[in-house]
Amino acid sequence: TDMRKSCENWCNIRGAGAGKPSTTNTAEPAIIDAYFWLKTPGESDGCTATLPSGEVCPRFDSDCQSIDSIGSAVGEPRAPEAGRWFDYQVKQLAELAHMN
């Protein structure tokens, strides 16, 4: 299920859940070799304009301010820089996981 309003939005998506763990056991083995996670769940995709510390993010990407990105709505936590641990997001990924 795609919870995004637009498929071009990719940064810290609100409402996302973790999917199947990496595996070679796929639904269509004739055409799909494996499902593979490209990054560690819980790592931020990129920062909001304002970091959780209140400082300006030096590497801000406007894609991380999309309507679908965590931190773009009032009351949501600000996202840390790319690659940093994003505790709010990893808890959401676990809560909304689709492991089967």
Question: Which tens digit of pLDDT belongs to each residue from 3-29?
Answer: 888 888 999 999 999 888 889 999 999
> Of 45, 50, 54, which is closest to residue 83 (Cα–Cα)?
45
pTM here? 0.82
Give the pLDDT confidence score for residue 1 in this predicted structure: 59
> Of 83, 99, 98, 81, which is closest to residue 41 (Cα–Cα)?
83
Give the pLDDT confidence score for residue 31 in this predicted structure: 97
Regions of the chain short of the pLDDT cut 70: 1
